[in-house]
Amino acid sequence: MKEMKKYIAIGHWDDSKNTVSTASCDISKKNFIENLKGNGFIAYAVLTEKAFNEMKSMDIFELIDKVQKLTSNYRKWNEITDYIEQCADIMALKLENAQ
């Protein structure tokens, strides 16, 4: 049986355009993304707990470079970077409480 891993997604819910994050445990990143879609979440970027922990300690230039590799949606690069930079503490708490 596969071990559950923690994932966090940055995006928005169907009924809102506000950028938020949501976290959960799942058996794979693909499964996590499918569950998000089924619950009406539009993900701009999905991170593992390990990747997030690495990103929150990066300087702004490293963070921008990493975000550009996360998604091909260049229109969301600044939004994702700003969200991680400004809401890393909230994201860390969501990951800590993820089930």
Number of domains in the chain: 1
**Full-model pTM:** 0.93
pLDDT of residue 2: 73
Chain centroid to CA 9: 3
The share of the chain scoring above pLDDT 90, in percent, equals 93
Residue 58 structural domain: 5-97
pLDDT (average), residues 73-85: 96
CB atoms within 10 A of CB 70: 19
User: Position of tokens 């800590």?
Assistant: 96
In the predicted model, what is the mean pLDDT of residues 44-61? 95
Q: Average of pLDDT values for 53-80?
A: 95
- The neighbouring-strand residues paired with 47 are 8
Task: Judge whether residue 1 has pLDDT over 80.
Answer: no
Average pLDDT over residues 9-20: 96
